[in-house]
Amino acid sequence: MAIPDRNLALELIRVTETAALAAAPWVGRGQKDLADKAAVEAMRKMINTVDMAGVVVIGEGEKDNAPMLHNGESVGNQEGPACDVAVDPIDGTSLTANGMNGAISVIALAPRGSMYDPKTSFYMNKIVTGPESAAVIDIQAPTAVNIAAVAKAKNLSISDITVVVLNRPRHDQLVKEIRECGARIRLIQDGDVAAAIETARPNTGIDLLMGIGGTPEGVITAAAMICLGGAIQGQLHIDGKSSGPILSTRDLVNSDDVFLAATGITDGELIKGIRYTSFGAVSQSIVMRGKSKTVRVIETEHYLK
């Protein structure tokens, strides 16, 4: 069976750029469903030009009641390597609708059969960190223990550690525990894929992501961590409680031959959003490959008639 080729990396940017450009006119207009529809339709058209025999493992799926890019759908031109595909045309639909920072379009690929299929398990308790502290996190340990371990691994004081948490009532106790141990918090409204990637990128000021978010986003994050040398641990969160085995990075994506591409829709710490110009638009994307650990940040000028 053919394996993904390195040329796929730059093909994937075209997919996320197309989705981001389709979503951008909806930024700040309060219509998240219409923004998502535009991004999904644009991504689906472009993804089918990619040289791969892809199957969507992580898609819009049942959760978003999407008519396309659903789990199990065949994508690509069916002439290249057999791949598992994870897509999120907009990670941060509410951010897009409200004109807030941090919305991205993202896609990840891995060899067929290597991505964890969450099926109908939509939520996961997660902890994510970068390469310096990848070996010291333990999702079963108390919050303060994890923060202290990360601080020690990064040679920082606890007061210098910043933890990203989704701003949800379910995280009230977690937020209290983080503050009690002396660390700082950055609350986000949505978009935990970009925030998770920030934990493993230099000069973002983010050290950890903790709390309950989407399971599909957890799988995409695992692909990013393989490329960046970071780590994610997760446990499915069903009916209000965490249950089942602890899932490591390799449980979620079991291959080094992974690719991830993301394009900014709105500005964020990771990448800039779409900017309109007199000739069209400018996009910024990040693309990474697990096997070579290559990371590229690419700015593209788009001529729009």
Whether 172 has a binding-site annotation, put simply, is: no
- Does 36 carry a binding-site annotation? yes
Is 214 annotated to bind a ligand? Reply is yes
- The bridge status of strand 123-129 relative to strand 74-75 is unpaired
169 is in an annotated binding site: yes
Whether the Cβ atoms of residue 213 and residue 126 lie closer than 8 Å to each other: yes
192 is in an annotated binding site: yes
Task: Report phi then psi at 58, rounded to 5.
Answer: -120, 110
User: Is 204 labeled as ligand-binding?
Assistant: no
The DSSP letter of residue 287 is E
Q: Is 93 annotated as a binding residue?
A: yes
Distance CA 123, CA 217 (A): 9
Binding residue per annotation — 64? no
CA Rg, the chain, in Å? 18
Cβ distance 230 to 154 under 8 Å?
Answer: no
CB 115 within 8 A of CB 219: yes
92 labelled binding-site residue = yes
Residue 117 marked ligand-binding: no
- Running DSSP on this structure, what letter comes out for residue 215? H
Does residue 301 have a known ligand-binding role? no
| 70-96: b (≥16 Cβ within 10 Å) or e | ebebebbeeebbbbbbbbbbbbbbebb
Distance in angstroms (rounded) separating the CA atoms of residues 284 and 297: 7
Q: Is 217 within any annotated ligand binding site? A: yes
The neighbour count for residue 278, using CB atoms within 10 Å, is 4
DSSP secondary structure letters along 36-99: HHHHHHHHHHHHTTSSSEEEEEESSHHHHT-SSS-TT-EES-SSS-EEEEEEEEEE-HHHHHHT
207 is in an annotated binding site: no
Detail the residues annotated as belonging to a binding site for substrate.
91-93, 123, 168-170, 190-192, 214
Residues in the annotated binding site for Mn(2+):
36, 60, 88, 91, 217
Residues forming the annotated binding site?
A: 36, 60, 88, 91-93, 123, 168-170, 190-192, 214, 217
